[in-house]
């Protein structure tokens, strides 16, 4: 799946119509959720029941009927996605909160499937033809959606952001590129000091620029509260804050993408730790650095590019990777503040460098023990680890994961 994104250009009335469609989407989602909550348990409300209910809504509310029928279906699917995720968490007995579905107050997108819209045959324009009267929007962006067969466009979303509306096309293509094998392998250790340290001893610095930008965001945030509530000045300040925020998140994404792309281009195998970022963020001291570095995002880009280039990206459990001696295998206990690995065998290495070597070795062991041609199976695995799961979700709905999948929209391919 590939997501192409354009900025949408229209007039005021059209933007209002988009808002109207977004509101309807949210209405349908929330109504479906309410229906599920209010139904007795023995009714066993499932996806099909919710879908049927959405057609009832169409009959009851003219403004729902005005939205394209498949878009209404997509909105109902959003409710079901939230419900099924909750069920899944309960079934797996996930520790902590189970994520009981909540009502949405600030919906920011409307999603069409394969009907209700058409593309201009030559110009970059899209026309929405349902009774929300969005009409024809200009698509600003260098992508050429026309190069893809219409049939491969599975979803079209309109998303509201701080700086305007965007149209996203979800295209079903196998985006693959032949990148020559380099025979190189690499292990990565994610640290606080550096963005990552690799098994060749290279330290990739943290993107400090982001830290600076973050200060500006904080400043913009404070300015909101200085303005009087309900006044125009406050609204403006809030928008300024949202724009700054958007800019940072884009920069962070660019950084993660750039680095991941480079790593997967120059290596055939990349091994990294299976970090549970979620658990680590609980520690408030670490929180800032961890969020900042955006490892999770970096990791999903590694996996994406591995798939794209036909390389192998592999996660291993991080146990002992920072304690073991890469030369002789002895466990050398050290606290987080000890930055150098010093072993009786004479091996002296920077701590993260030693860890990265261990991580690479662990990955190679994993491949060797997984049998049948090793790397092929792990390639398969890494594909499953990301590709399949994501695309199934994409098939169901675009909402959550699109942020990580907008890989092609800002200039790398
Ligand atoms: Zn040693």
User: How much distance in Å is there from the Cα of 354 to the middle of ligand 1?
Assistant: 11
Q: Compute how many other C-beta atoms are within 10 angstroms of the C-beta atom of residue 377.
A: 14
What is the CB-side half-sphere exposure of residue 120 using CA atoms within 13 A? 12
User: How much distance in Å is there from the Cα of 373 to the middle of ligand 1?
Assistant: 31
Element (H, E) at 342: strand 340-342
Joined together, the tokens standing for residue 29 give: 């989602």
Element (H, E) at 173: none
**Domains observed in the chain:** 2-171 (no CATH), 185-207+256-405 (3.30.420)
**Alpha carbon of 257 to those of 148, 297, 303, 356: distances in Å?**
24, 8, 11, 20
Task: For residues 101 and 84, give the distance between their C-alpha atoms in angstroms, rounded to a whole number.
Answer: 9
Joined together, the tokens standing for residue 382 give: 């890494």
Task: For residues 119 and 126, give the distance between their C-alpha atoms in angstroms, rounded to a whole number.
Answer: 5
pLDDT in tens, the chain (413 residues): 778 889 999 999 999 999 999 999 999 999 999 999 999 988 889 999 999 999 999 999 999 999 999 999 999 999 999 999 999 989 988 888 888 999 999 899 999 999 999 999 888 899 999 999 999 999 998 777 877 788 889 999 999 999 999 999 988 876 677 888 899 999 999 877 788 999 999 999 887 766 777 788 888 888 888 888 888 888 898 888 888 888 888 888 888 889 999 999 999 999 998 876 555 555 555 545 555 557 778 888 898 888 888 889 998 888 888 899 999 989 998 887 888 999 999 999 999 999 999 999 999 988 887 643 333 334 444 433 333 223 223 332 333 333 333 333 333 33
Residue 276 CB partners (closer than 8 Å, separation 6+): none
User: How much distance in Å is there from the Cα of 331 to the middle of ligand 1?
Assistant: 8
pLDDT of residue 129: 95
Are the C-beta atoms of residues 108 and 160 closer than 8 Å to each other?
yes
The residue whose two tokens read 């994406």 is 304
User: How much distance in Å is there from the Cα of 332 to the middle of ligand 1?
Assistant: 8
User: How much distance in Å is there from the Cα of 348 to the middle of ligand 1?
Assistant: 8
Sign of CA dihedral 67, 104, 239, 4: negative
Name the β-bridge partners of 198: 188
User: How much distance in Å is there from the Cα of 324 to the middle of ligand 1?
Assistant: 8
User: How much distance in Å is there from the Cα of 341 to the middle of ligand 1?
Assistant: 9
The residue whose two tokens read 């929300």 is 132
User: How much distance in Å is there from the Cα of 329 to the middle of ligand 1?
Assistant: 6
User: How much distance in Å is there from the Cα of 375 to the middle of ligand 1?
Assistant: 29
User: How much distance in Å is there from the Cα of 342 to the middle of ligand 1?
Assistant: 8
User: How much distance in Å is there from the Cα of 336 to the middle of ligand 1?
Assistant: 19
Residue 411 CB partners (closer than 8 Å, separation 6+): none
Q: Closest Cα to residue 224, out of 203, 198, 255, 245? A: 245
User: How much distance in Å is there from the Cα of 179 to the middle of ligand 1?
Assistant: 37
Name the β-bridge partners of 163: none
State the Rg of the chain over Cα.
Answer: 24
Considering only the C-alpha atoms of the chain, give the largest distance between any 2 of them, rounded to a whole number of Å.
78
User: How much distance in Å is there from the Cα of 362 to the middle of ligand 1?
Assistant: 16
Task: For residues 198 and 375, give the distance between their C-alpha atoms in angstroms, rounded to a whole number.
Answer: 20
Residue 158 CB partners (closer than 8 Å, separation 6+): 8, 18, 21, 22, 109, 110, 134, 165, 166, 167, 168
Task: For residues 155 and 112, give the distance between their C-alpha atoms in angstroms, rounded to a whole number.
Answer: 6
DSSP label of 311: -
Q: Compute how many other C-beta atoms are within 10 angstroms of the C-beta atom of residue 145.
A: 19
User: How much distance in Å is there from the Cα of 224 to the middle of ligand 1?
Assistant: 56
Task: For residues 27 and 58, give the distance between their C-alpha atoms in angstroms, rounded to a whole number.
Answer: 11
User: How much distance in Å is there from the Cα of 288 to the middle of ligand 1?
Assistant: 34
b/e burial code for range 355-376 (CB count within 10 A of at least 16 → b)? bbbbbbbbbbebbeebeeeebe
User: How much distance in Å is there from the Cα of 188 to the middle of ligand 1?
Assistant: 20
User: How much distance in Å is there from the Cα of 219 to the middle of ligand 1?
Assistant: 49
pLDDT of residue 283: 52
């Amino acid at each position: 799946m590939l997501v192409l994104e354009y900025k949408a250009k229209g007039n005021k009335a059209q933007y209002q119509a988009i808002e109207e469609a977004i509101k309807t989407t949210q209405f349908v989602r929330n109504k479906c959720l309410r229906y599920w909550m209010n139904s007795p348990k023995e009714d066993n409300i499932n996806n099909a029941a919710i879908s049927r209910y959405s057609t009832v809504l169409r009959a009851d509310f003219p403004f729902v009927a005005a939205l394209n029928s498949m878009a209404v279906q997509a909105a109902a699917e959003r409710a079901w996605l939230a419900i099924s995720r909750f069920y899944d968490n309960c079934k797996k007995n996930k520790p902590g909160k189970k994520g009981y579905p909540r009502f949405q107050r600030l919906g920011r997108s409307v999603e069409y499937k394969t009907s209700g819209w058409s593309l201009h045959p030559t110009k970059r324009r899209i026309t929405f033809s349902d009774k929300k009267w969005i009409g024809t929007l200009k698509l600003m962006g260098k992508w050429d959606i026309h190069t893809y067969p219409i049939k491969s466009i599975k979803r079209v979303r309109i998303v509201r952001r701080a700086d305007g509306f965007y149209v996203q096309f979800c295209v079903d293509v196998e985006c693959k590129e032949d990148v020559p094998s380099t025979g190189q392998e690499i292990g990565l250790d994610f640290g606080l000091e550096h963005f990552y340290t690799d098994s060749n001893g290279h330290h990739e610095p943290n993107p400090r620029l982001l830290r600076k930008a973050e200060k500006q965001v904080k400043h913009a945030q404070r300015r909101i509260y200085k303005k009087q509530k309900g006044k125009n000045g406050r609204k403006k300040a809030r928008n300024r804050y949202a724009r700054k925020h958007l800019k940072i998140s884009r920069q962070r994404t660019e950084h993660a993408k750039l680095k991941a792309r480079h790593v997967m281009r120059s290596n055939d195998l990349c091994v990294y730790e299976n970090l549970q970022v979620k658990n680590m963020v609980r520690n408030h001291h670490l929180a800032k650095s961890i969020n900042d570095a955006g490892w999770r995002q970096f990791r999903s880009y590694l996996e994406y590019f591995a798939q794209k280039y036909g390389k192998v990206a592999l996660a291993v459990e991080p146990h002992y990777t920072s304690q073991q001696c890469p030369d002789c295998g002895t466990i050398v206990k050290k606290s987080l503040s000890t930055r150098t690995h010093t072993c009786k065998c004479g091996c002296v290495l920077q701590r993260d460098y030693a860890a990265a070597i261990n991580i690479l070795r662990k990955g190679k062991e994993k491949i060797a023990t997984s049998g049948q041609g090793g790397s092929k199976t792990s390639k398969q695995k890494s594909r499953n680890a990301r590709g399949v799961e994501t695309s199934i979700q994409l098939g169901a709905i675009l909402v959550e994961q699109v942020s990580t999948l907008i890989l092609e929209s800002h200039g790398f391919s």
